[in-house]
Amino acid sequence: MNNRDHSLDLMRGVAILMMIAFHLIYDLNEFGFTDIPLTGYWLTTYWRYLIVFLFLSSVGISLVLAYGQQFNIVKFSKRMALLGLAALAVSLGTYLMFPNAWVYFGILHLIWASCLIAVPFVRVPNASLLIGVVILGLGYFNLPDLSFLRALLSNNLPNASVDFYPLFPWLSLVFIGIFLGHNPWHKKIITYRSTFTQYLGQHSLLIYLVHQVLLFGLVAAIYTLTNL
């Protein structure tokens, strides 16, 4: 019996498509093909926020689906090991490509840490919602982002990073996702079905790891060919 949450797969798939489009524009900008503002412009800023919301809230929903009835330490450990290796691969790859702006706490690092923090709350949706709202609210008071990596290793970390998502306030979206996992409004809102988009959602980690390498390589190749 197939127990997959197809609405969740579609939700992640839409986030993947939006992310690919965002990064494609970034690459085109880098090589001078386009000049579309991705920072400092409200439309692209909220576009990025929407992508992150879809990804992180889906993490919370996934935690409920996987561990809401019974917590399996072996299953969770394997999942965390895979995610941790993926995050390390991103750090290593970006360190080699962008030594002055490598990723030391990007979206995968955030998801890894958030899962560790949030998984004990998978059976308490109302408390999770409260925690999420409080964390989100505190962000408006400009509290420190509590990036322990920067505090401990500030002398060895770059001043900038091509992908940086601190625990606060982004952890809040995982807790809100736990609430949504117990109150699956996404199933009522996302009723459309797309086999292709759902497939992307089912393989979101792999696509996340390889998409930018392929996009950057493709745009770089086109740039080289057009400037021969």
Judge if pTM exceeds 0.75: yes
Residue 137 lies in a domain: yes
Q: What would the two tokens of residue 65 be?
A: 């689906």
Q: How many residues would you count in the chain?
A: 228
27 falls within a domain: yes
- Mean of pLDDT values over 53-68: 95
Task: Identify which of 173, 157, 202, 225 has the alpha carbon closest to the alpha carbon of residue 55.
Answer: 173
**Which pLDDT band holds residue 211 (cuts at 50, 70, 90)?**
very high
Q: Please compute the mean of the pLDDT values over residues 88-108 and round it to a whole number.
A: 91
Confidence of residue 4 (pLDDT cuts 50, 70, 90): confident
Res. 2: pLDDT tops 60: no
pLDDT digits (tens, 9 = 90+) for 121-179: 999 999 999 999 999 888 765 555 555 555 566 666 777 788 888 888 899 999 999 99
- For residue 169, say if its preceding peptide bond is cis, omega within 30 degrees of 0: yes
Whether residue 20 lies inside any domain: the answer is: yes
Q: What is the pLDDT of residue 155?
A: 63
Number of domains the chain is built from: 1
Asked if the structure places residue 43 within a domain, the reply is: yes
Helix (H/G/I), strand (E/B), else coil: 184: coil
Report residue 103 as tokens: 């990723």
- pLDDT at position 70 is 92
Cα 180 from Cα 53, distance rounded (Å): 12
Closest CA to 99 of 36, 183, 157, 171: 157
Instruction: Give the lowest-confidence range in 2-6, 131-135, 197-201.
Output: 2-6
**Residue 113: domain span:** 6-226
pLDDT of 57 > 60? The answer is yes
The amino acid sitting at 149 is L
Indicate whether 123 belongs to any domain: yes
1 in any annotated domain:
no
> Could you tell me if residue 145 is inside a domain?
yes
Orientation of helix 42-67 relative to helix 73-97, angle to 10°: 150
The mean pLDDT value of the chain amounts to 88
Specify whether the CB–CB gap between 162 and 101 falls below 8 A: yes
CA–CA distances in Å: residue 197 to residues 10, 33, 201? 6, 28, 6
pLDDT mean over 88-104: 91
Question: Is residue 222 scored above 70 in pLDDT?
Answer: yes
- Does residue 46 lie within any of the structural domains? yes
Least confident range of 73-82, 103-112, 142-151, 162-171: 142-151
C-beta of residue 22 within 8 angstroms of C-beta of residue 48? yes
Q: Mind giving me the DSSP string for 126-179?
A: HHHHHHHHHHHHHGGGT-----HHHHHHGGGS-S--SS---HHHHHHHHHHHHH
pLDDT for 98 equals 85
DSSP 98: -
What local confidence, expressed as pLDDT, does residue 1 receive?
A: 41
